[in-house]
């Protein structure tokens, strides 16, 4: 995993950019026509230049993955430490108001009861929730 940072160094920007560890001169250009698509692995560096048209650019993203499991190594993503995304603020706010129950219901439906790692993650989430309630109250 190469070091990343928010685009232009703006912590409120959703997008990330790779900041070191790659040679832009080795990039392969993949021109797309209207209606074309590109498929790549999640950790493949990719980029789309600015949209110079009058029409909005749309993206349809599909993400596939394996069931979650405990990592054998500690993973660190320091570029996410100081991000201040408006979406995350809305998510946090929604979890503390009336929409907490739909959130909890979805998490219970998604829970894999046969996966020990899911139990550990669930326990950590509950502990964070309880700790947050104690410090807020």
**Stated pTM of the model:** 0.50
Query: 18: which DSSP letter?
Result: E
Q: What is the pLDDT of residue 96?
A: 67
Tell me how crowded residue 6 is: count the other CB atoms within 10 A of its CB. 20
Q: Which of 58, 22, 70, 61 is nearest to 42 (CA)?
A: 61
Q: 57 and 51 in contact (C-beta within 8 Å)?
A: yes
Give the SS3 label for residue 76.
Answer: coil
Tell me how crowded residue 13 is: count the other CB atoms within 10 A of its CB. 15
From CA 66, how far away is CA 40, in angstroms rounded? Answer: 16
Tell me how crowded residue 118 is: count the other CB atoms within 10 A of its CB. 16
Residue 99's alpha-carbon distances to 3, 88, 92, 103, in angstroms, are 35, 15, 10, 7
Mean pLDDT over 43-72 rounds to 82
For the chain, what percent of residues have pLDDT higher than 90?
A: 1
Tokens, residue 81 = 């430490």
Tokens, residue 51 = 């949209």
Question: Could you read off the pLDDT of 80-125 as tens digits, one per residue?
Answer: 788 877 777 777 776 666 667 777 788 888 888 888 888 888 888 8
């Amino acid at each position: 995993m190469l070091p990343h940072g928010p685009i232009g160094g703006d912590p409120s920007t959703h997008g990330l950019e790779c900041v070191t560890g790659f040679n832009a001169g080795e990039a392969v250009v993949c021109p797309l026509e209207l209606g074309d698509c590109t498929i790549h692995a999640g950790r493949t560096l990719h980029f789309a230049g600015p949209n110079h048209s009058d029409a909005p650019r749309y993206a349809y993203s599909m993400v596939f993955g394996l069931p979650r499991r405990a990592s054998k190594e500690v993973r660190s993503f320091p570029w996410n430490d100081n991000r201040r995304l408006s979406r995350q603020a809305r998510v946090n706010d929604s979890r503390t108001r009336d929409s907490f129950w739909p959130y909890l219901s979805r998490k219970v439906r998604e829970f894999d009861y046969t996966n020990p790692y899911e139990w550990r993650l669930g326990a950590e989430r509950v502990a964070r929730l309880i700790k947050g309630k104690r410090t807020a109250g």
